Amino acid sequence: MFNALKARLFQGYRTNAFPDAPPKLPARFRGRPEVDPDRCMEAAPLCPTGAIRQGADGRGMLDLGRCIFCGKCSGHGVAFSLEYRMGVMHREGLIADGTPFSPEEQRNAGIRALCGRSLKIRQVSAGGCAACELDFNVLGTLAWDMGRFGIQVVASPRHADCLLVTGPVSCNMLEALKKCRAAVPEPAFVIACGACAISGGLYAGNPEVKGGLEGILPVDLYVPGCPPHPATLLEALVRFIGRRCKDNQAG
């Protein structure tokens, strides 16, 4: 017991300051892309998921819900910034078309009242590669400690407030996903974590997958990425429950 206490004192405080201070991001980090709508269409043939396309006005746009942040479009009217705050509560917020972006606040008073002090999550892997699951699991470690915000993972959907879904929703997981959602007490919420859960990602169009949650379950929070960085995911969860961060500007 004495040795355990001595080791703990030696290790010190290990939880990082984020989200009350900006996360320490490597120079190679690829955050929310800055798009030149007059040039980005030249990168469309390079995009493996069809994330770059023409809008109704004939100008280019990039759909973060399809983007896997591979970087092939860099230098062709697209530049990846250090902006890690990419979670949105409406699908159209994932469209980067050159207009200024600012993270939206939680405006649903019901969600703020219900989840402001705690959020119980049942994570469902709907046929993914496990990358999103791994980075979500990181949030439970000492370094990130999402539990300090009352955000916790539960084993049963009957104890959950929401489902956090990863993967493109394989045909084999479709029924299990629907049953899991039905078991969550109302009001229940759904979080689409990663490009696969949002649009199918690299697997979109494959006959063995449903191409993400669209058309299957209504989504309350979209967190893009392949996989989303832990800072991106934690900031989105904290903002979703209506909590404010002191200073979470990208640095």
Digit-coded pLDDT (tens) for 177-221: 999 999 999 999 999 999 999 999 999 999 999 999 999 999 999
192 burial (CB, 10 Å; 0-12 / 13-18 / 19+) is buried
Phi, psi of 146 (to 5 degrees): -65, -15
Q: What is the per-residue pLDDT for 250?
A: 43
Chain segment 74-133, per-residue pLDDT in tens? 999 999 999 999 999 999 999 999 999 999 999 988 898 888 889 999 999 999 999 999
Chain segment 149-162, per-residue pLDDT in tens? 999 999 999 999 99
Task: Judge contact between 226 and 169, C-beta under 8 A.
Answer: no
For 1, residues 6+ apart whose C-beta sits below 8 A from its C-beta are none
- Distance, CA of 236 to CA of 193 (rounded, Å): 10
Comparing CA positions, the residue from 191, 175, 171, 178 lying closest to residue 233 is: 191
pTM: 0.91
All structural domains of the chain, each given as residue ranges with its CATH number in brackets, are 33-84 (3.30.70.20), 109-240 (3.40.50.12280)
- Distance, CA of 116 to CA of 110 (rounded, Å): 10
Statement: residue 52 has pLDDT above 60: yes
In eight-state DSSP terms, residue 247 is -
Provide the token pair at 74.
């860099």
Strand order across the 119-125 sheet = 151-153, 119-125, 162-166, 189-193, 221-223
pLDDT band at 172 (very low <50, low <70, confident <90, very high): very high
102 burial (CB, 10 Å; 0-12 / 13-18 / 19+) is exposed
Q: What is the per-residue pLDDT for 248?
A: 45
Task: Judge contact between 236 and 189, C-beta under 8 A.
Answer: no
Q: Please give the single-letter amino acid code of residue 53.
A: R
Q: What is the per-residue pLDDT for 3?
A: 78
Which of 6 and 235 is assigned the larger pLDDT? 235
By percentage, how much of the chain surpasses pLDDT 70? 93
Q: What is the per-residue pLDDT for 1?
A: 73
pLDDT band at 251 (very low <50, low <70, confident <90, very high): very low
SS3 193: strand
Q: What is the per-residue pLDDT for 22?
A: 86
